[in-house]
Amino acid sequence: MLTKEMNDLLQSAQTYGWVMEPYAKKFFTVAGMDVPRFTWARSLDEAVSFAHEVGYPVVMKIVSPQVVHKSDVGGVAVGIIDNAGLVSAFNRMSTINGFAGVIVEETVQGIELIIGATIDEQFGPVILLGIGGTATEIYHDVGLAMAPLCESDVDKMIRSIKAVSLLEGFRGSERVNIDTLKKLVIRFSELVMDLGDNLESIDLNPVMCSSERCVIADARIMLRR
């Protein structure tokens, strides 16, 4: 079941047409899922003080109701290592259409996955899991399954990813914590079932997966209108 707080966060979609990243991240935090420490900074001062609090390097992203794909408009800056970088990124983003502040967040490491949901006309709520990042559609390396999911469904989805060996520690690289990933996907599928007919689609992309955490680094919720 969705709590009142979660429903209130979704209400923001009424204003903007979709749930913007800060609200979406808050939504998933309330749902018990892992997101990076972040703030929604409306001013440069707020951005700087939060960066000091979590420590550099940090990530900055545009918050704008007019920008759905942030990287397409230069609205994402990763690996900001000092105040100077932060100031220049902030100044640049403040000129983007619909600027409503920026997200500043801690840098999280890991393999970029995508976890998504859509409502299929024939099959209802469907969950997607695969290789994420901005090039996710180019790799198109994903598994799909009908929600709600059980553990063996998620197992099958993971095994259906062609690049599954990247998750298992390819050539000495760090393994992804598969148990954490499975729990996240199952919890996500429960949320999707709770959202029911209201939902149009959700992209959690990227979800940064490492041996310790699976962190939702970006999230967008589109509701039916």
Partner 1 sequence: MDLEKIFKPDTMAVIGVSLTNENHPANVIYNKNRFRYDARAFAVNPRGGRIRGDVLYKRLEEIPEKIDLAVIAVKAELVLSVVEECINAGVKGAVIVSGGFAETGLSDLQDRLVALARKAQFPFIGPNCLGVYAAPRMDTFFIPSERMVRPEKGRVTMISQSGGVVVDQMVKAAAEGVGLSTAISIGNKALIKEADLLRYFADDPGTDVITFYIEGFGKNEGREFALAASECTKPIIVLKAGKTAAGNKAVSSHTASMAGDYQVFASVMAQKGVVEATDEFELMAFAESLSCYPRSIKGKVGIITGSGGHGALCTDACISHGLVVPVLGEETRLVLKEALSPALRNIASYVNPVDLTGSSTDDDFLAAARVLSRDPGIDCIIMLLLPYIPGITVDLGAKLGMMGQQEGKPIIAYVPHVEKYMIIVEGFNFYNIPVAHSVEDAVHMAEAMRRNKSC
Comparing CB distances to partner 1, the nearer of 51 and 154 is 154
8 A C-beta contact, residue 6 and residue 198: no
Residue 14 belongs to what H/E stretch? helix 4-16
CB of 107 to partner 1, least distance (A): 22
Comparing CB distances to partner 1, the nearer of 45 and 137 is 137
CB of 215 to partner 1, least distance (A): 18
CB of 18 to partner 1, least distance (A): 8
CB of 161 to partner 1, least distance (A): 12
Chain residues binding partner 1 by CB under 8 A are 68, 114, 116-118, 120-124, 126, 128, 130, 136-137, 140, 142-146, 153, 156, 160, 200-203, 205, 220, 222
- Pull the structure tokens for residue 127: 């969950």
Comparing CB distances to partner 1, the nearer of 2 and 222 is 222
Q: What is each CA distance from 184 to 29, 61, 69, 187, in whole angstroms?
A: 12, 24, 24, 5
DSSP-assigned letter for residue 146: E
DSSP 79-133: EE-SHHHHHHHHHHHTTSTT---EEEEE---SEEEEEEEEEETTTEEEEEEEE-S
Comparing CB distances to partner 1, the nearer of 98 and 169 is 98
CB of 114 to partner 1, least distance (A): 6
Question: Measured between alpha carbons, how far is 145 from 160 in angstroms, rounded to an integer?
Answer: 11
Helical pair 178-195 and 151-159, crossing angle rounded to 10 deg: 120
Question: Measured between alpha carbons, how far is 188 from 53 in angstroms, rounded to an integer?
Answer: 30
Comparing CB distances to partner 1, the nearer of 52 and 140 is 140
CB of 23 to partner 1, least distance (A): 17
Question: Measured between alpha carbons, how far is 59 from 75 in angstroms, rounded to an integer?
Answer: 11
Comparing CB distances to partner 1, the nearer of 86 and 147 is 147
